[in-house]
Amino acid sequence: MRIIRFLDGQQKWLAAVTDDEQAYRLPQADFMTLIYQARKQGISPVQLVESAFKPLNKLTDDWTSLHLITPLEAPEVWAAGVTYQRSREARNYEATEGKLDAKTFYDKVYDAERPEIFFKSTAARTIGPLEAVTLRSDSNWQIPEPELGLVLAADGSIVGYIVGNDMSCRDIEGENPLYLPQAKMWRNSCSIGPAIRLAETVQNPYAFNIVCEIYREGEIVVKSEASTSELNRKLDELVSFLARDNDLFDGTVLLTGTSIVPPNDFTLAPGDRIEISISDIGTLINPVISN
């Protein structure tokens, strides 16, 4: 069971999408209201959602044709880094200009008890389905980072899973790791959506398949696949470090790192289209424009 949000005129609506792709309008104003109403009534979010499955609430046959927006306004988006071997290798490559013999801080953080967690975005900065991610004007090496996102309640519980894109500038980070905030945060560099999979409907979050496709002038130029089974950390471990001596707000999203890195000679260009799919969650599509 997934939760989406869409625009009907000026009005934002929450809706549920079943595993057989039927969509129903929901009465709740937003995703976290749904979670708390269910908790208050002592039922699961799925049970609460199913109580709205009436003919009157049924939506168009193809929910993907709705005007989808971010399924929640995440007050903060955080991101974990170097949580997969592939990311460690890519960071080492950009930090050492391809001389892979030296041990770097990326090797250290991959093995360390403390994960790398950084601040990525705020609600006002985060974009959703079909909105354009933008390229930094002072970088020549930019890529999407397709990541599984955790939707968190203020108590740190994982209430859902979402698709995220942690756009990154490999040259800026490679020049100096202290430039990480500029390599990661600029206008429209964080996208999430199109749906939140309710946590209770996920049997094994270490079995999600992630696919990234990048199209240029109608042709596919990058296609790569990964699985959350390759994650070097436990999801609860990432959440516990994020929550340590920190206030979590309802609906915070934690991106869990990337295992997909396009070939080293690839950089995004205006006009590209990025499609990130995670099994049982959905496909996040964003065109790319210059800043």
Interface contacts to Mg ion, rule CB under 5 A: 145, 166, 258
- 81 lies in the binding site for ligand DO4 (CB under 6 A): yes
3-state secondary structure of 219: strand
Work out which of 28, 70, 87, 228 binds ligand DO4, going by CB under 6 A. Answer: 87
Q: Is the dihedral of CA 191, 197, 198, 204 positive or negative?
A: negative
Nearest position to ligand DO4, beta carbon: 81
Spell out, one character per residue from 204 to 243, where the chain touches ligand DO4: x when CB under 6 A holds, - when not.
----------------------------------------
Number of amino acids touching ligand DO4 (CB under 6 A): 11
Work out which of 16, 258, 284, 285 binds ligand DO4, going by CB under 6 A. Answer: 258
Closest CB to Mg ion among 15 and 183?
183
Stated length of the chain: 291
Distance CA 75, CA 126 (A): 9
- 139 lies in the binding site for ligand DO4 (CB under 6 A): no
The residue with tokens 């050492």 is: 96
- 79 lies in the binding site for ligand DO4 (CB under 6 A): yes
Work out which of 32, 66, 74, 82 binds ligand DO4, going by CB under 6 A. Answer: 82
3-state secondary structure of 31: helix
Distance CA 276, CA 231 (A): 18
Closest CB to ligand DO4 among 52 and 109?
109
Closest CB to ligand DO4 among 41 and 264?
264
> Contact region for ligand DO4 (CB under 6 A) — 2-10, 22-30, 38-46, 75-83?
75-83
Token pair of 116 as six digits = 């790398």
Q: Minimal CA–CA distance to 233: which of 110, 55, 151, 51?
A: 110
Question: Taking CB within 5 to 8 Å according to partner kind, which of Mg ion, ligand DO4, none is near residue 116?
Answer: ligand DO4
Distance CA 167, CA 190 (A): 6
Question: Taking CB within 5 to 8 Å according to partner kind, which of Mg ion, ligand DO4, none is near residue 91?
Answer: ligand DO4
Q: Which residues contact 190 (CB under 8 A, 6 or more apart)?
A: 77, 120, 121, 125, 126, 127, 164, 165, 166, 167
Question: Taking CB within 5 to 8 Å according to partner kind, which of ligand DO4, Mg ion, none is near residue 252?
Answer: none
Closest CB to ligand DO4 among 89 and 131?
89
Q: Minimal CA–CA distance to 114: which of 277, 233, 252?
A: 233
DSSP 53: -
Which residues share a beta bridge with 149?
Answer: 162, 255
Q: Which residues of this protein are in contact with ligand DO4, per CB under 6 A?
A: 79, 81-83, 87, 91, 116, 145, 166, 257-258
